[in-house]
Chains A and B, each alone.
Chain A
Amino acid sequence: MRRLPILALLLWICSIFYVGIYLFVGGFLLVRLEVNRTSTCADVLPPGADVARGDFCLKEPRFRRAVVLIIDALKSDFARYDPENTSPRAFENKLPVLDEMASSRPSQSRLYTFRADPPTTTMQRIKGFTTGSLPTFIDVGNNFASSAVLEDNLVHQLGQAGKRVVFMGDDTWVSLFPRKFHRSLPFPSFNVKDLHTVDNGILQNIFPTMEGDDWDVLIAHFLGVDHCGHRFGPDHPAMAEKLTQMDGVIRSVINRLQNDTLLVVMGDHGMTDTGDHGGESLKETDAALFLYSGSPLFPAPSSQVEPEVVPQTDLVPTLALLLGVPIPYSSVGQVLLPLFPHNNSRAAPTGLSQAEALWINVKQVNRFLETYSSMAKDIPADSLSHLQSRFTQLSSQYLSSVSKGAPPSPELVASMQAYLSSVRETCRASWARFSPVKMAAGLLVMGLACVVCYVLSELSLVVLQEGVLKMPVVSGLVVGGAVAAGQIFMWGFVEVLWCVGVVALITEVMVLWRVRRLSLWLSLLPPPLLILLLRCSSLLSDSYVISEGRVVTFLLFTLVLYVPLRLNWDGLLVPGPPPDTQKPPGLLPPSLPLSTVRREGAALLVSVGVLVGCLYLSLSFHSCREEQGSCQPSAFLTPLSRVQDSRMRNLHYVLSLVSLSAWAFLLHRWLRHYGNLNCTSVTVFTARFLLPLASICMGLHWAVSATPEDSFRNLAELISLAQVALPRVAFGLLGLGLLLLWLDPLTVFLKTRAPLNSRAPSMPPPRYRASTGISPQAELHHLIPQLYQRIRRSLEDGGSEGAEADGRPAVEAYGLGTVYSAPLILLCGMLGLGLLLLHPEGMALSFLLMLLQAAAVLHLHTSSSTLSSLQSHSNVFSVPWAPVVLWSLAASQFFHATGHLPTFPSIQWGAAFVGFPQGHSGTVLPATLVTLNTFASHILFAVGCPLLLFWPLVCEVRGTRAGRSGGGDDGEDVVMEMRLRENPQQFSSALLQLTLRYLFICGAQVFASVCAAAILRRHLMVWKVFAPKLMFEASGFIVSSVFLLVGVALVMRVDVAVAGLFQKLLPQNSR
């Protein structure tokens, strides 16, 4: 077997795909440029204004102090109060204080809907309402790795103005604003299950702090409501409790509030009906904003048209001007006018009038626009010049009215507001911008990579013999180096992206060129690839992406039905009619024995049935996107601890436990059936003990985590210990198992019975003596099947009682026939258990379905390849397209059937806490766990991909393959996977072909979603549907390809071990 060329080729293909993805994503998901400049007090002075009128920083601000209470995920619905509602749900009417204040003291308080900009994740929101800027898409992924905010922001400005900012609550703030607070009391935020630590920590400190005098701005970020939503959903008694607690907090704060203090109560985002957030549906973006002050806050109670909805960016300039600090440099918000006195009424003693505030705001926004457009060219020039001219006009109007001493007209105020709104809209529109050149380059590299993958998979045998890789890679590297040198020469720096892209492109073109010279015709588009084509084109439509789970199942179902129909069309499924007497017998095609056809046909139909059943059942494990209106997420997705009905909980638990044990049992059963559990190697130890032990740990862990918190108070410590220990033990056992599997992958049991010299004469002599004059390598190749067949034959003889004494074999090797597939299956089994542990308990059923469906696909492939074995003329081991397409579509199908969706809010963050209920200190481990959880099915199917090659050999029946492999009269024996060792060349090429085909299918899907994102980049749904789909598809490809390589590497590891085994055996036995 040629290990190195295969691995090199696969690595190369994977890396050109990666380069393509990298290039495209680099052009598609651009980050908004951060303007690292800060506003100062001098900025807000009008040009030529006299100093006496003044630097407004020196003036007495409207408010000396402010208390900002951020209640995470305070949805706008939570804050409303409806006295008519007699039977409020858990989240309704629980914050009466807001309504009380707003109606009883209308001049002091007001309640607004506070609309966040997507993405509605907490860190993006904190950035948004401190800098006043708009978030970009790429920030979504940074939720784990909070890093300091470098742009100008409110906290920084307050600090510059000498205000003492005291912070308490969510520790994200401390990582975003390191060393900016006068005092900070951070509490761990990551543990979603913990409803009380952060809130209680704040409650212990907020009132003493407020009563003291060591603060000017107090920020308190409560997390309980958000965590309650994530854990129980909004409609749960715990939410009522939490909101009532918040009501009390707000009341106490109001009671302690002094007249010079502004109180802001706000939510950073809302939540969906399941308590999650991150997207851009109104349920997620609409939070509540409540403003209150002891002194009259709203100069004109109801004279003005009130804004219904306040954009979240508007808080920044408003707070800045009310507290007397400059507006942060890159804010694009607009001051909240009702908070400022009318121009003509000088009722308010201090502070800016509406026109003044707006003027400062307009100037700041205009300056930011100028700076930004000088740094980046992404805002279209015509809209920029339009805005510029509007600003000049406003500026002259305002300055003339000020110099006349007359208050600015309401029209001017309105047009300043309009200007600010249009700037905000322009920014929103242009920060979703792309780099077309990079995108095109990425598309080109990926498209060519797909072509290369397809061509090489068709020509795998030739490719392996000739070795096509060396020259192209060398020349690619040379050209890439030249480009890098050129870049240094021209610009003085290297842009790695382009160099890597050039290398990838050159190698692809060169490989294609070389393969062209080999000039083998490619087969025409076979129907299974038509299904793949449909699948890929379905990624171009948002409706199909939204209902992707069903689309994939539909296509899979079609392909499953296609296989038997096609076999019947070829006349292979049912035993043919008695031979036609009219034709001369020589022209008759060779046909399989009737019994074989009957058996395989029946097996085929059974596996089609199982497959169809699995497909249909898997539909009931889907989750729901927000776009799917009337969809109910699967009941199995709810973690047991959230199921309130205890009978349902017990039922779910038992079902999960049954599927878990079925998973372990099936695995064990298979290994035992093929004799892989006899020896004393460490792998067998793994299969026999570690696997069941890990399953038991998982079962116990589920039981422990399902217990309601308050039911066993006296055992609380034990339970929390078990919640940490059990999953960790399970992970540890599985990890140990994987390690042992890698160290010693053989599951072959060798038994030497009798002294060799006495047995040797009774053995049948080998058919051919390869040991004369041929190289040791060839001898090995010839002797191994001999040895194996001898073992096998003597084993069978030994089965009967009479032969026991006499026909004892010299060596018995159990499990040699499944030497390749047994470790692979063990690997899949252990990985599956580990991944299942990261899912909600109910998904055990889905994992069991996955196992059954994989087995059904394998058997379908086996039967159909047996039935059509006489027709195919290519490589004996070659796996046709249909099963590979089935296999890879099944990976997408079970991505959905394990409750995942290609959207960010649907990521199962709970996976990060399995075994770590207290949260994490780093970010690598939780990110890994969440990735493993998300791409579980991709991982399992990618690792198990080589099984498609082995399965027909594992299920080999006597006499079916004999004719094909041309084994002559020895063909009667069932040699199973040892055939692969007989034909190492064909084995290598088939393995390469299989993996390349799998990679091609995955790569084609990524390419399609990349095309979708590129073509539909101005589509309404691009950020909601296509961009997340692209991210998920690309990450799925990366994970799949890595684990595909792991699977192939394990096969090679086994191959090495088998070779070693035979080296060790042969000298003893055959000479």
Chain B
Amino acid sequence: MWDVEIRGMASAHAIIAASIFMATVMPAVLVEKFSVYGTHLIWLYSVAGSVAVVNIAVFWLLGISPPTKKNTLSYKLSKLIRSCVYLLLSCLFFHTVIVLYGAPLLESALETFSLAVLLSTFTTLRCLCVLGPNVQAWIRVFSRDGAMSVWDTSLQITTGCSIVGAWLGAFPIPLDWDRPWQVWPVSCSLGATVGFLTGLLAAPLWIRWHRKQLTYKLK
């Protein structure tokens, strides 16, 4: 049973990682003079979009979402709307946090918000897919004994890695190297992406390594 779940997760993660790769390569065909630094926002939104789409598709196909009590259309619709609102709120939340961390308040607000969108895609969107629009469940997941399935554990790992990656990405900004990737928010979004990829890779490995210690409560 373990092996099946881990293998499923590994392949899902591989698909997501491949989508990031594709999102980096594909626009080069369509957009002129495309480069990760030069046309950073295009890259960022293409990554965010593809990760979002692939995530939703994968989780929908695998059927990993919280059990619903009602199956009516209106209930599903309200859930969808709530999810969208949560996503928007999380973008605003990340934007605020980034500004508080020292990003410029007014100038390059678009860049800051794009970074917030990217971070939300890497973190909040996955939370929504796995846990549904349920903040209490989110808070519960991010505690030591809160994970209830391998997907929860993978959520912990990828979210943590993305945020730490973005945090580490801020480090080179003050350095006087004058590189193109030191421009706001290139290093942070690259850091977040690299962190996310690391998380995708690390999660199955970590779970496999610790499968003896992991005891999930039954759903």
Interface residues of A (CB under 8 A from B): 541-544, 546-547, 550-551, 553-554, 557-558, 565, 568-571, 573-574, 577, 612, 615-616, 619
CB-CB nearest in chain A for B99: A616
Give Cα A574 to B140, complex, Å. 9
Interface check B209, CB cutoff 8 A = no
Distance in angstroms from A281 CB to nearest chain B CB is: 16
Q: What's the Cα separation between A684 and B71 when bound, in Å?
A: 69
The complex places the Cα of A47 from the Cα of B101 at a distance, in Å, of 72
Q: Are A544 and B167 touching (Cβ within 8 A)?
A: no
B144 touches which one: A542, A547, A570 (CB < 8 A)?
A570
Within 127-163 of B, Cβ neighbours of A (below 8 Å) are at 136, 139-140, 142-146
* B67 close to A (CB within 8 Å): no
Q: Is B175 an interface residue (CB 8 A)?
A: yes
In the assembled complex, the Cα of A543 lies from the Cα of B176 at a distance in Å of 6
Interface residues of B (CB under 8 A from A): 99-102, 136, 139-140, 142-146, 167, 170, 174-176
Once the chains are docked, how many angstroms separate the CA of A577 from the CA of B143?
12
Report B115 CB to chain A, min CB distance, Å: 16
Q: Are B146 and A571 in contact (CB under 8 A)?
A: yes
Q: Contacting A571 at CB < 8 Å: which of B102, B143, B170?
A: B143
For B100, give its contact among A550, A565, A612 (CB under 8 Å): A612
Closest A residue by C-beta to B136? A574
Nearest-Cβ distance from residue A556 to partner chain B, whole angstroms: 11
* CB proximity of B159 to chain A, nearest CB, Å: 11
Whether the Cβ atoms of B143 and A568 lie closer than 8 Å is: yes
B142: chain A residues at CB < 8 Å are: 565, 568-569
What is the CB-to-nearest-CB distance from A634 to chain B, in angstroms, rounded to a whole number? 15
- The count of A-to-B residue pairs whose CB atoms sit within 8 angstroms is 42
CB-defined contacts of A553 to chain B, threshold 8 Å: 102
Known: A554-B102, A554-B170, A619-B102. A571 touches B145 (CB 8 A): yes
**Which A residues are CB-close (under 8 A) to B99?**
616
Q: Are B167 and A558 in contact (CB under 8 A)?
A: yes
Find out whether the CB atom of B143 lies under 8 angstroms from the CB atom of A570: yes
Q: With A550-B102, A568-B139, A616-B100 as given contacts, are A543 and B170 in contact (CB-CB < 8 Å)?
A: no
Q: Given A543-B176, A547-B174, A551-B174, does the pair A615, B143 have CB atoms closer than 8 Å?
A: no
Establish whether residues A569 and B143, one from each chain, have CB atoms under 8 Å apart when the complex forms.
Answer: yes
Q: Give the residues in chain A near B143, CB-CB below 8 Å.
A: 568-571
Task: List residues of chain B with CB within 8 A of the CB of A577.
Answer: 140
Quick check: B139 and A574 within 8 Å, CB to CB?
yes
In the bound complex, CA of A569 to CA of B142 (Å): 6
- What is the distance, in angstroms, from A632's C-beta to the closest C-beta of chain B? 13
5 A-B residue pairs with Cβ-Cβ distance under 8 Å, sorted by A, are A544-B175, A546-B174, A558-B167, A568-B143, A571-B146
Q: Are B175 and A541 touching (Cβ within 8 A)? A: yes
**Could you tell me if A557 and B144 are in contact, using CB atoms closer than 8 angstroms?**
no
Q: Which residues of chain B come closer than 8 Å to A569, judged between CB atoms?
A: 142-144
Bound complex: CA A345 to CA B23 (Å): 79
- Which residues does chain A contribute within 8 Å of B100, judged by CB atoms? 557, 612, 615-616
Min distance, Cβ B195 to any Cβ of chain A, angstroms: 15
Measured CB to CB, the closest approach of chain B to A574, in angstroms, equals 6
Chain B neighbourhood of A615, CB < 8 A: 100
B97: nearest chain-A partner, CB-CB: A561
CA distance A403 to B100 in the complex (A): 78
Known contacts A550-B174, A557-B101, A615-B100; 8 further A-B pairs (Cβ under 8 A): A543-B175, A553-B102, A554-B102, A554-B170, A558-B167, A568-B139, A569-B143, A616-B99
In angstroms, Cα B101 to Cα A571, docked, is: 26
**In the complex, what residue of chain B is closest to A580 when comparing beta carbons?**
B217
Q: Is the interface of B mostly helix, strand, loop or mixed?
A: loop
Q: Is the CB of A571 within 8 A of B174?
A: no
Query: A544, B174: Cβ atoms under 8 Å?
Result: yes
Which residues of chain A are near B174, meaning CB under 8 Å?
543-544, 546-547, 550-551
B139 CB → nearest A CB, Å: 6
**Known: A557-B100, A557-B101, A612-B100. Is A571-B144 also a contact (CB below 8 A)?**
yes
- Given A569-B143, A571-B144: A554 touches B175 (CB 8 Å cut-off): no
Residues of A within 8 A of B175 (CB): 541, 543-544
Minimum C-beta distance from B138 to chain A (A): 10
Give Cα distance in the complex from A544 to B170, angstroms: 12
Return chain B residues, CB-CB under 8 Å to A612: 100
**Shortest 10 CB-CB distances between A and B: which pairs?**
A571-B143, A547-B174, A543-B175, A543-B174, A543-B176, A616-B100, A569-B143, A550-B102, A569-B144, A568-B143
The minimal Cβ–Cβ distance linking B140 to chain A, given in whole angstroms, is 8
Q: Is the CB of B101 within 8 A of A554?
A: yes
Give Cα A543–Cα B102 distance, bound, in whole angstroms: 16
Min CB distance B185 to A, Å, is 15
In the complex the two chains form, what is the Cα distance from A546 to B136 in whole Å? 43
Assembly CA distance A619 to B104 (angstroms): 11
With both chains docked as a complex, state the minimum distance between the C-beta of A300 and any C-beta of chain B, in angstroms: 45
How close is B217's CB to chain A, nearest CB, in angstroms? 9
A541 to B139, CA, bound (A): 38
Complex alpha-carbon distance, A565 and B143, angstroms: 9
Which residues of chain B have C-beta atoms less than 8 A from A541's C-beta? 175
Closest residue of chain B to A551, judged by CB? Answer: B174
| Chain A residues, Cβ within 8 Å of B140 | 574, 577
How far, in whole Å, are A542 and B177 apart by their CA atoms in the complex?
12
User: With the chains together, A557 CA to B102 CA distance in Å?
Assistant: 10
Chain A residue contacts of B144, Cβ below 8 A: 569-571
B34 CB to closest chain A CB, in angstroms?
A: 30
Best-surrounded residue of B99, B140, B174 (most CB of chain A within 10 A): B174
* Cα of A794 to Cα of B85 in the assembled complex, Å: 55
* Measured CA separation A547–B136 after assembly (Å): 39
Question: What's the nearest-Cβ distance from chain B to residue A294, in Å?
Answer: 51
Q: Could you say which residues of chain B place their CB within 8 Å of the CB of A573?
A: 139
Most buried by B among A546, A558, A573, A616: A616
Bound Cα distance from A612 to B96, whole angstroms: 11
Q: Cβ of A616: which chain B residues have Cβ within 8 Å of it?
A: 99-100
- Whole-angstrom distance from the CB of A528 to the nearest CB of chain B? 16
Q: How far is the CA of A603 from the CA of B145 in the complex (A)?
A: 24
Residues of B near A550 (CB, < 8 A) are 102, 174
Q: Give the distance to chain A from B135, nearest Cβ to Cβ, in Å.
A: 11
Nearest-CB residue, chain B, relative to A550: B102
How far apart sit A612 and B140, CA to CA, in the bound complex (Å)?
24
Residues of A close to B101: CB separation below 8 A? 554, 557
- Give complex CA distance A551, B171 in Å: 9
User: Chain B residues with Cβ under 8 A from A542's Cβ?
Assistant: 176
CB B168 to nearest CB in A, in angstroms, measures 10
Which residues from chain A contact B170 at a C-beta distance below 8 Å?
A: 554
Q: Which residue of B lies closest to A565 (CB)?
A: B142
A546 to chain B, nearest CB (A): 8
Shortest distance between the CB of B92 and any CB in chain A (Å)? 16
- From residue B146, how far is it (CB to closest CB) to chain A in Å? 7
User: Which residues of A sit under 8 angstroms from B139, Cβ to Cβ?
Assistant: 568, 573-574
Shortest distance between the CB of B137 and any CB in chain A (Å): 11
A568-B145 Cα distance, complex, nearest whole Å:
10
- Bound CA span A550–B142, Å: 29
Query: How far is it, in angstroms, between the C-alpha of A355 and the C-alpha of B101 when the chains are bound?
Result: 64
| B218 → A minimal CB distance (Å) | 10
CA distance A908 to B175 in the complex (A): 28
Assembled-state Cα–Cα distance A577/B142 (Å): 14
Contacts of A558 in B (CB 8 A): 167
Closest chain-B Cβ to A867's Cβ sits at a distance in Å of 13
Least distance between B192 CB and chain A CB atoms (Å): 15
Measured between beta carbons, the chain A residues less than 8 angstroms from B176 are 542-543
Cα separation A570 to B139 with both chains bound (whole Å): 11
Report A892 CB to chain B, min CB distance, Å: 15
A550 to B140 Cα, complex, angstroms: 33
Bound complex: CA A543 to CA B174 (Å):
6
- Chain A: minimal CB distance from B141 (Å): 10
Q: How far is the CA of A218 from the CA of B89 in the complex (A)?
A: 75
Chain B residue at minimum C-beta to C-beta distance from A567: B143
Residues of B within 8 A of A574 (CB): 136, 139-140
Least CB distance, A649 to chain B, in whole angstroms: 26
> How far apart are A791's CB and chain B's nearest CB, in angstroms?
42
How far is it, in angstroms, between the C-alpha of A497 and the C-alpha of B70 when the chains are bound?
Answer: 81
